[in-house]
Amino acid sequence: MEYAVQLKNVTKTFGKVVANKDVSLDIRKGEILSLLGENGSGKTTLMNMIAGIYYPDEGEIFVNGAPVEIRSPKDAYNLGIGMIHQHFKLIDVFTAVENIALGLEKSEKFDMKAIQAKTQEICDRYHFDLNLSQKVYEMSVSQKQTLEIVKVLYRGADILILDEPTAVLTPQETERLFEVIRNMKNDNKSVIIITHKLHEVLEISDRVAILRKGEYIGAVDTKDATENSLTEMMVGKKVELNIQRSEPENTVKRLSISNLTVYNKEKVKVLDDISFDAYGGEILGIAGISGNGQKELLEAIAGLQVTAEGSSIRFYERGKESSPMELVGRTPKKIRDAGIHLAFVPEDRLGMGLVGSMGMTGNMLLKSYGRGRLPITDTKGPKQLAERVKKELEVVTPSINTPVSRLSGGNVQKVLVGREIAEEPTVLMTAYAVRGLDINTSYTIYNLLDEEKKKGVAVIYVGEDLDVLIDLCDRILVLCDGKANGIVEGRRTTKEEVGLLMTNLKKGGAENE
């Protein structure tokens, strides 16, 4: 067996945190290896050591059988290793080809035509869909990612590492990416792909290597693996992979949206005449390719978007069902002051929902700091709440005063969701609540949402994983191009039907059913 990369007894620590402990891992030539593990299990750190971003504290790395020392990304490139990071490293105002030229050695001749020709040749060989003279700021996320891959291939990489490449892609784009990855494999390149999505792991990879809490658990051939067996290896115990969906009981209308239209800063219509109702005791899913108005829809309800004339958002607060409150034109503070219990878990957790530099206590204060007549903040309640959330949701943090930006993604989300649920909302809106979270935390969140639904809360769940949407939600509103393209029943619909509604706008839009 020929190995592209071998890691032997690699250990890496950051301060007191052990990111990788004594990891030994082989990557074969011409294989697609999935690296699987929960958040914080050390996948990215391990790959960063191969890519020259970190240097291991202990252990050795072999490339093509020879011991090597990788001190910088440049060393990695010289060994034929290229990594595509989650956050792209491109210059926005440069074209695709200029970005590629940027990475050249100083000694190489700067010949744009030759670079263009060679890049085109790579694109043709692997069937990349890329316009080489397009500027990066005009590209979609998927095109930027393609460019990153081409860039790495241009520099002669035989070993490619992709860090959660599908997290930002639509199902169709993911398919295309997998196509390309298979092409690269046929060209005898080794591809390592880090991902959380088990069905993708099963679809694309030849082998799966699993890390748990920084330690290497083992590798299995994909053909012998199932979602359940992989989860068990990852978590260390059996996990029920069934999403609970209780039957809706005593549904009451809580939110009635009609003719909601929103323009963005560039005066482009991002929400177009949307109308629907949400009921207490049910989970309303919102599906759509990302960027089709989901964010604006939730933000408009929360009072963070300016709505166009004629829009109406009526809120039926508990006990005041007969006199609904109009939310249009109210700021978040006014909504709260009016006694509306509206909870919102935004997509950008640290950039909108939380204050990264503050601890859990400070973040629990975020929506309630204004309470009381005194000019000083009352931290007693928030402190107790922080302790409670920490205990009930099993938030892993050194202390409730540790800045939340230092916590792992899953724990950050638990803090945010914990705070929002604690307010005993009438309506709970969540945007991409499980994005980037590992399987265990994801199921915790699904169950929490179902619990809230049982309490009679109207839950709105914006999601990207269609399987989850169909298994979790009672009804699913599909957005397409800023329009409501139909509402389907979660129990009766299929992935295909929702997928079709996501991409093909019905003539004349959909009626609210």
Nearer to other proteins, 125 or 333 (CB): 333
Residue type, 170: T
What residues from 287 to 326 belong to the interface with other proteins (CB under 8 A)?
302, 304
Helix pair 227-235, 439-454: axis angle to 10 deg: 100
User: Whose Cβ is closer to other proteins: residue 162's or residue 335's?
Assistant: 335
Name the residue among 162, 200, 183 with its Cα closest to residue 50: 162
Which one-letter amino acid corresponds to residue 151? K
Q: Which is nearer to other proteins, 305 or 441 (CB)?
A: 305
**Of 289, 284, 307, 309, which Cα lies nearest the Cα of 297?**
307
Candidate ranges 171-179, 181-189, 231-239, 340-348; the one touching other proteins (CB under 8 A): 340-348
Determine, following the binding rule CB under 8 A, whether residue 53 of this chain makes contact with other proteins: no
Smallest separation (angstroms) from other proteins to the CB of 256? 23
Q: Which is nearer to other proteins, 207 or 349 (CB)?
A: 349
Tell me if 216 contacts other proteins by CB under 8 A.
no
Among 105, 109, 223, 375, binds other proteins (CB under 8 A): 375
Q: Report which DSSP code applies to 135.
A: B
CB of 375 to other proteins, least distance (A): 5
Q: Which of 24, 55, 156, 236 binds other proteins (CB under 8 A)?
A: 55
Nearer to other proteins, 293 or 303 (CB): 303
Question: Of 94-102, 186-194, 203-211, 373-381, which part binds other proteins (CB under 8 A)?
Answer: 373-381
**Residue-level length of the chain:** 513
For the bound state, the minimum distance from the C-beta of residue 374 to other proteins, rounded and expressed in Å, comes to 8
**Region from 224-232, 331-339, 449-457, 461-469 binding other proteins, contact rule CB under 8 A:** 331-339
CB of 137 to other proteins, least distance (A): 20
Separation in Å, CA 140 to CA 88, 164, 505 = 12, 17, 21
Q: Which stretch binds other proteins (CB under 8 A): 236-244, 286-294, 356-364, 489-497?
A: 356-364
Asked whether 262 and 252 are in contact (CB, 8 A), the reply is no
Which one of 156, 238, 370, 494 is in contact with other proteins (CB under 8 A)? 370
CA 8 to CA 61: how far, in whole Å? 6
**In the bound complex, what is the minimum distance in angstroms from residue 71's beta carbon to other proteins?**
6
Q: How far apart are CA 302 and CA 324, in angstroms?
A: 16
H/E stretch holding 494: none
Helix axes 141-154, 112-126, angle to 10 degrees: 110
Q: Which stretch binds other proteins (CB under 8 A): 25-33, 54-62, 105-113, 269-277?
A: 54-62
55 versus 247: smaller Cβ distance to other proteins:
55
Ramachandran angles phi, psi of 462, nearest 5°: -90, 120
Whether residue 136 contacts residue 95, with contact meaning beta carbons closer than 8 Å, is answered with yes
Tell which positions 64-103 bind other proteins, by CB under 8 A: 67, 69, 71
Q: Which of 105, 351, 496, 508 binds other proteins (CB under 8 A)?
A: 351
- Binding to other proteins (CB under 8 A) within 235-254 occurs at none
Choices 130-138, 235-243, 342-350, 432-440 (CB under 8 A): range interacting with other proteins: 342-350
Count the neighbouring beta carbons within 10 Å of the beta carbon of residue 50: 25
d(Cα 217, Cα 234) in Å, to the nearest integer?
8
Residue 435: CB minimum distance to other proteins, A: 17
213-221's contacts with Cβ under 8 Å and 24+ in sequence apart are 213/40, 213/41, 213/42, 214/18, 214/19, 214/20, 214/21, 214/23, 214/41, 214/42, 215/20, 215/21, 215/22, 215/23, 216/22, 216/23, 216/24, 216/25, 219/25, 219/26, 219/33
In contact, 34 and 209? CB cutoff 8 Å: yes
Q: Which of 376, 380, 391, 492 binds other proteins (CB under 8 A)?
A: 376
Lay out the site mask for other proteins across 1-40 (x = CB under 8 A, - = otherwise): --------x-x-xxxxxx--x-------------------
Q: How far apart are CA 124 and CA 414, in angstroms?
A: 45
- Beta strands in 281-365, from DSSP E residues, in sequence order: 283-287, 312-315, 325-326, 342-345
| Locus of tokens 């929400």 | 271
The CB-of-303 to other proteins minimum distance in angstroms stands at 8
Find, among 325, 302, 304, the residue nearest to 315 by Cα.
325
Phi then psi dihedrals of residue 477, to 5 deg:
-95, 130
Q: Which of 393, 459, 390, 385 is nearest to 422 (CA)?
A: 385
Among 167, 202, 252, 355, binds other proteins (CB under 8 A): 355
Distance from the Cα of residue 407 to its chain's centroid: 16
Please report whether residue 264 would count as binding other proteins according to CB under 8 A.
no
User: Could you tell me how many residues of this chain bind other proteins (CB under 8 A)?
Assistant: 46
Among positions 348, 424, 467, 513, the unique one binding other proteins when judged by CB under 8 A:
348
Measured distance CA(434)–CA(411) in Å, rounded: 11
* Residue among 15 and 508 whose Cβ is closer to other proteins: 15
For other proteins, which is the closer residue by CB, 24 or 140? Answer: 24
356, 409, 499, 509: which one contacts other proteins (CB under 8 A)?
356
Tell me, rounded to whole angstroms, the distance of Cα 228 from its chain centroid.
22
- Give me the residues that bind other proteins (CB under 8 A), please: 9, 11, 13-18, 21, 55, 57-60, 67, 69, 71, 302, 304, 331-336, 344, 346, 348, 350-358, 362, 365-367, 369-370, 375-377
